[in-house]
């Protein structure tokens, strides 16, 4: 089992750099003579930057990190261009209706104001959309062309995936099951017989098995947050409030749904009629113990943890399940087949990019050819 394949082909990118020498202020790269416009590159880079800011604000402040994101944006565009060209050779082409639907979906990103409120005025949404295009220096037709290429590239990948043949031996499936069960049970001794690559491949599958088979409880809960910054007297006030809420619930003066709405600092459970499902072992130890030992349908006294105070009732509990090999076999086949297909497709795409005549024209990514030895 091998996980070294990656759609970001650093080796391909460096090979393309070695052939650089031309400069064009409006062009980021040439792929078999076709231009990747600098404006398209910049818009793609800004999208990557925006995503990174959501995950790690400080990452993009570093100039070297921004160069890494720029390389990723260029690799993505080069790969898409190669795939779009291959799609054209195979007479694969997205229809206008699909392109227009993607434009409309993109417009909906501009259906929210700065205050986060949804905008219902279609004219205002379109205005916001047009202003973004103008800011990026891209016309609507250029955007359509870019979306068309991306769709064709994806259609080509789908076609490539459908043609892959996968062979999975029975002993491979059984070994995968054993490794999965060892991960679910955190059996480190059993895991020693598997390579790091094997464990890495099995882990996402094991996580899903763990989610589906772990002991669980359905609870109704009110949460009163007590962050470390909260003054001692405020914490005491919340503790008194928790006692009062618990008593009101025990006396049936208020329902959990109403109590969550009125008191709780976490109202997420309102989306599921005031209930939440929790998995055993995922909560703080004290809270976990009380939930999985408590009498069902009884309002518990307030439980204090580091993050806050909980007033809850356990409505249902379900014991841990152990799935047999026969029960998981089809899921294992689907998972491993999908992985093999993805790996094979990645290798074929990598070969296509390597064969393409790619010239990177952005000066920050150009490298000098090595001098001949004297």
Q: What is the CATH number of the domain that holds 301?
A: 3.10.50.40
Residue range(s) defining the domain that contains residue 53 = 10-165+348-365
Asked if residue 110 lies in contact with residue 125, where contact means CB atoms within 8 angstroms, the answer is yes
Q: Do 148 and 20 share a structural domain?
A: yes
Q: Is residue 308 part of a domain?
A: yes
What's the whole-number mean pLDDT along residues 285-302?
93
Length of the chain: 374
Q: What average pLDDT does range 227-255 have in this prediction?
A: 93
Q: Give percent above pLDDT 70 in the chain.
A: 91
Residues 158 and 19 in one domain: yes
pLDDT of residue 136: 79
pLDDT tens-digit readout, 103-162: 999 888 888 877 678 888 888 888 888 988 888 788 889 889 989 999 999 999 999 999
Instruction: Mention every residue, 6+ apart, whose C-beta is less than 8 A from residue 186.
Output: none
Classify residue 265: in a domain, yes or no. Answer: yes
Whether 360 is covered by a domain: the verdict is yes
Confidence of residue 8 (pLDDT cuts 50, 70, 90): very low
pLDDT at 367 over 90: no
Phi and psi dihedrals of 172, rounded to 5?
A: -65, -45
pLDDT of residue 248: 95
Q: With CA atoms as reference, report the closest residue to 328 among 208, 215, 214.
A: 208
- Domain match, 288 and 235 both: yes
pLDDT of residue 372 exceeding 50: no
CA atoms within 13 A on the CB side of 20: 20
Give pLDDT, residue 7.
Answer: 37
pLDDT of amino acid 88 = 95
Candidate from 60-64, 259-263, 347-351 with smallest mean pLDDT: 60-64
On whether residue 277 sits in a domain, the answer given is yes
Beta-carbon contacts of residue 44 (< 8 Å; ≥ 6 apart): 73, 76, 77
How does the average pLDDT of the chain come out, rounded?
Answer: 87
Strand partners, 310: 223, 303
* Residue at 176 is within a domain: no
**How far is Cα 199 from Cα 186, in angstroms, rounded to an integer?**
12
The three-state secondary structure class of 302 is coil
Least confident of 47-61, 67-81, 200-214, 321-335: 47-61
Please give the pLDDT value at position 316: 95
Q: What is the CATH number of the domain that holds 49?
A: 1.10.4030.10
Asked if residue 81 is part of any domain, the answer here is yes
Query: Do 14 and 140 reside in the same domain of the chain?
Result: yes
**Judgement on whether residues 221 and 158 belong to the same structural domain of the protein:** no
pLDDT digits (tens, 9 = 90+) for 65-111: 888 999 999 999 999 999 999 999 999 999 999 999 999 998 888 88
In a domain, 198, yes or no: no
Residues 228 and 280 in one domain: yes
Identify whether the C-beta of residue 22 lies closer than 8 Å to the C-beta of residue 359: yes
Q: Which pLDDT value is given to residue 110?
A: 86
Is pLDDT of 3 > 70?
no
Residues 136 and 234 in one domain: no
* pLDDT score recorded for residue 46: 87
pLDDT confidence tier of residue 24, bands split at 50, 70 and 90:
low
Judgement on whether residues 129 and 249 belong to the same structural domain of the protein? no
DSSP 257: H
Which of 12-16, 139-143, 253-257 has the highest mean predicted lDDT (pLDDT)? 253-257
Specify the pLDDT at position 336: 97
291 and 357 share one domain? no
Residue 102 shares a structural domain with residue 221: no
Q: What is the pLDDT of residue 62?
A: 81
Average pLDDT over residues 175-195: 95
What is the value of pTM for the model shown? 0.70
Is 25's pLDDT higher than 80? no
Is residue 45 situated within a structural domain?
Answer: yes
Mean pLDDT of 194-218: 95
Residue pair 202/183 in contact (Cβ under 8 Å)? The answer is yes
Q: What's the rounded mean pLDDT across residues 4-10?
A: 38
Residues 53 and 103 in one domain: yes
Quote the number of domains for the chain: 2
352 and 297 share one domain: no
d(Cα 338, Cα 282) in Å, to the nearest integer?
29
């Amino acid at each position: 089992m091998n996980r070294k394949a990656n759609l970001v082909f650093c080796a391909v990118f460096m090979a393309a750099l070695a052939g650089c020498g031309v400069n064009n202020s409006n062009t980021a790269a040439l792929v078999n003579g076709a231009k990747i416009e600098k404006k398209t590159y910049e818009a793609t880079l800004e999208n990557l930057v925006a995503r990174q800011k959501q995950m790690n604000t400080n990452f993009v402040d570093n100039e070297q990190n921004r160069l890494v994101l720029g390389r990723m944006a260029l690799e993505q565009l080069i790969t898409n261009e190669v795939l779009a060209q291959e799609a054209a050779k195979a007479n694969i082409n997205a229809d206008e209706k699909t392109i227009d639907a993607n434009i409309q979906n993109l417009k909906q990103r501009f259906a929210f104001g700065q205050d986060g409120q949804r905008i219902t005025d279609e004219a205002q949404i379109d205005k916001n959309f047009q202003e973004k295009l103008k800011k990026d220096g891209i016309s609507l037709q250029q955007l359509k062309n870019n979306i068309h290429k991306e769709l064709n590239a994806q259609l080509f990948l789908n076609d490539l995936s459908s043609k892959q043949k996968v062979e999975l031996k029975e002993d491979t499936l059984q070994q995968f099951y054993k490794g999965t069960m060892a991960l679910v049970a955190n059996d480190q001794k059993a895991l020693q017989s598997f390579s790091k690559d094997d464990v890495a491949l099995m882990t996402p599958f094991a996580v899903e098995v763990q989610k589906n088979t772990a002991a669980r409880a359905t609870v109704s809960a009110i949460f009163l947050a007590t962050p470390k910054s909260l003054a001692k007297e405020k914490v005491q006030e919340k503790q008194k409030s928790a006692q009062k809420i618990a008593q009101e619930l025990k006396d049936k003066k208020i329902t959990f749904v109403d109590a969550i709405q009125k008191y709780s600092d976490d109202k997420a459970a309102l989306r599921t009629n005031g209930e939440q499902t929790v998995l055993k072992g995922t909560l703080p130890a004290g809270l976990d113990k009380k939930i999985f030992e408590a009498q069902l349908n009884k309002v518990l006294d307030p439980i204090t943890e580091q993050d806050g105070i909980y007033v809850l009732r356990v409505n249902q509990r379900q014991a841990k399940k152990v799935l047999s090999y026969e029960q998981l076999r089809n899921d294992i086949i689907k998972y491993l087949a999908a992985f093999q297909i993805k790996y094979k497709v990645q290798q074929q795409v990598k070969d296509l990019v390597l064969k393409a005549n790619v010239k990177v024209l952005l000066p920050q990514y150009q490298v000098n050819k090595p001098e001949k030895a004297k």
